[in-house]
Amino acid sequence: MTEPHLDALSAQFAAIEAKLDAGVAAAERDATRKEIVGLFRTLEQGIAELSETVAAMTALKDDVKRLVDKFKAQQAEAATNHPEFSGEKPVVHADHIGASTFIEKGWSRLSLGDYEAAEAALKRALELSPNDPQSEALLGWAQMLQEHYDEALMNFQKVLMRQPSNALARINVGYICLKKRIFGEAIEHLSKAIRLDNDKKATLYAHFYLGLVYLEREMFEDAQTFFRKTLALGPNLIEAYYELGRAHWYNGERDEAKQAWATGHATNKFNPWGKRCAEVLQTVEAGGEPPRAP
């Protein structure tokens, strides 16, 4: 039912109501009754059609979610090292100011990869409920995944001021510092996350990002140490094999580099990083060089 159609039905309702308020003559009662019944039936039919439309749109929405999953799988072919959003669905309570609605919307949009909409929703949540660490953390994710690093850093630092043991926020600060080449601060935050050791995923990625920090600083043996620790904690984090290979290669250890890439590909040849391991192995065996950047 379109808005103009609804407006016409509302006008018809108002006209009938005005007629009843003025008093309906006996001769017009049957016609008025039929007019009321007709309006009711039209609305009933419209509601039924709308229900069918809503059901169809709900089913289509579920289908779109599957498209998002397919897109994320294909996007992984880009094989970037940025953190993948995996925050737990927030536990929020109904509130009279409505912030919880925007927190849930922000989380949902983040999960779908709609980072711009997530950022807008979470900013609204913070307008309604300032200084909420949950909203700030989610907003930090939305900004970081858009590579708005300065804004994201500010929000994660706010979270850490209130929740110093929030290991996921801490590794995200470490990652952002890595991207901004603030290596000393990156090492500080990532090392702290390892010492906290209160979140398995955070501990895993803290080791991995420390490996990347030392690789960027051309401290290749330290990088190798952290990539090996990463693989001990998470053998399926194939990107660690790829980076371990680069750390060996640029340290002059060509055979060890090839072995790392061969192992990475053999571990999961369908993984984007497993494929990249195979590609770089083929490149160096043909006399080429692995890329300096991931």
pLDDT tens-digit map of 239-275: 999 999 999 999 999 999 999 999 999 999 989 999 9
67 domain-assigned: yes
Confidence of residue 52 (pLDDT cuts 50, 70, 90): confident
73: confidence class by pLDDT, cuts 50, 70, 90: low
pLDDT confidence of residue 38: 85
Q: How far apart are CA 126 and CA 63, in angstroms?
A: 31
* pLDDT one-digit tens code per residue, 140-164: 999 999 999 999 999 999 999 999 9
pLDDT category of residue 45 using cuts at 50, 70 and 90: confident
In a domain, residue 40? The reply is: yes
Q: Copy the structure tokens of residue 111.
A: 């999960």
Residue 55: its pLDDT value, please?
77
Taking the C-alpha atoms of residue 225 and residue 277, their distance in angstroms, rounded to an integer, is: 19
Q: Mean pLDDT throughout 92-110?
A: 77
Give percent above pLDDT 70 in the chain. 87
The residue-averaged pLDDT of 79-94 equals 60
Whether residue 190 contacts residue 214, with contact meaning beta carbons closer than 8 Å, is answered with no
Q: What is the pLDDT of residue 4?
A: 66
- Structural domain for 2, as ranges: 1-78
Neighbours of 115 (CB within 10 A): 20
Listed in sequence order, the residues at least 6 apart from 277 whose beta carbon sits closer than 8 Å to its beta carbon are: 238, 241, 242, 245, 260, 261, 262, 264, 265
pLDDT the model gives residue 44 = 82
Q: Which of 76-90, 254-268, 279-293 ranks highest by mean pLDDT?
A: 254-268
Say how far residue 89 (Cα) sits from the centre of its chain.
11
Q: Is the pLDDT of residue 285 over 80?
A: yes
Contacts of residue 128, defined as CB under 8 A and 6 or more positions apart, other chains included, come to 97, 98, 99, 102
In a domain, residue 189? The reply is no
For residue 80, what are the contacts with CB-CB under 8 A and spacing of at least 6?
A: 294
How many independent structural domains does the chain possess? Answer: 1
Domain contains 225: no
Question: What is the average pLDDT across 32-44?
Answer: 83
Give me the residue label for tokens 């069918």: 52
Question: What is the spatial distance between Cα 202 and Cα 163, in angstroms, rounded to a whole number?
Answer: 15
Q: What is the average pLDDT value for the chain, to the nearest integer?
A: 87
- pLDDT of the residue at 54: 78
Hey, what are 130's tokens? 């300032």
Answer for the pair 164, 195: CB distance below 8 angstroms, yes or no. Answer: no
74 has a pLDDT exceeding 70: no
CA angle 166–112–150, rounded 5-degree value:
50
What predicted TM-score, i.e. pTM, was given to this entire model? Answer: 0.74
Sign of the torsion formed by the C-alpha atoms of 192, 197, 202 and 203 = positive
Please provide the distance, in angstroms rounded to a whole number, between the alpha carbons at the two ends of the chain.
53
Q: Which of 293, 290, 262 is nearest to 278 (CA)?
A: 262
Q: Residue with structure tokens 């749109």? A: 57
In a domain, 28, yes or no: yes
For the cut 70, the answer to whether the pLDDT of residue 235 exceeds it is yes
Model confidence band, residue 70 (pLDDT cutoffs 50, 70, 90): low
What is the spatial distance between Cα 66 and Cα 53, in angstroms, rounded to a whole number?
Answer: 20
The distance from CA 31 to its chain's CA centroid, rounded to whole angstroms, is: 59
pLDDT at position 189: 97
Average pLDDT for 25-45: 83
Q: Is residue 158 part of a domain?
A: no
pLDDT category at 9 given cuts 50, 70, 90 is: confident
Structure tokens at 181: 């080449």
